[in-house]
Amino acid sequence: MVTDNTIEITLDTWIISDTHFFHENIGRYCNRPENWQELIIKNLNDLISPDELVLHLGDFSFGKRSNFDLLTEQLHGKIILIRGNHDRLSRIRYESRGVTIVNEPIYVKLDEKAKIIFSHWPVVPLDDGLINIHGHIHNSPPPPEGSVLGPNHINMSVEVRDYRPWRLKDIINGIK
């Protein structure tokens, strides 16, 4: 599988969303376990080797640049980040730390009939034949989007994904 731009997404690509590292209030907002940040880092590093591709669907971290720098020193994988509403650092900052930043959704042709759109926000309405793998809605879909999300919307927010990344092939197998 190849995207419409220069980023190559394969079935072995790891997918995760809404880690919100260093966002103190997110634990309360989303009922995260007490050690949620350490849990996500451990799960990422236990599953992902340094040379593997990680597609992060937005809201990677919060706050100071030094926090972001600390994370990128710790985490395994080559990170592609689709910018979310909390990803506010400059392109230069992201790229200086080895993170590829993308400001638009990424489209991937799955097969002759289906196409995947990776995004931070759910794509609503969703065209026939598209599968939207997204984040943003955490563990409770907000209205009005929540009322129209269907089986072709796949939420990858960590709260509903065991606080870990998932390989694209496992996500796809889960919807077939």
pLDDT digits (tens, 9 = 90+) for 37-89: 999 999 999 999 999 999 999 999 988 888 999 999 999 999 999 999 999 99
Task: Identify the bridge partners of residue 116 per DSSP, sorted by sequence position.
Answer: 108, 131
Cβ-Cβ contacts under 8 Å for 71 (sequence gap 6 or more): 21, 22, 41, 60, 61
Contact 30, 138 (CB under 8 A): yes
Contact 71, 46 (CB under 8 A): no
pLDDT of residue 50: 96
Contact 107, 90 (CB under 8 A): no
How far lies 33's CA from each of 86, 97, 121, in Å? 21, 28, 24
Of the pLDDT bands very low, low, confident and very high (cuts 50, 70, 90), residue 2 is very low
**pLDDT of 6 strictly over 70:** no
DSSP state of 21: B
pLDDT of residue 19: 96
List, for residues 95-152, the tens digit of each pLDDT value.
999 999 999 999 998 777 779 999 999 999 898 889 999 999 988 665 555 656 888 8
Please state, as a whole number, how many other Cβ atoms lie within 10 Å of the Cβ of residue 61. Answer: 24
What are the structural domains, with CATH classification, of the chain? 14-175 (3.60.21.10)
pLDDT of residue 1: 43
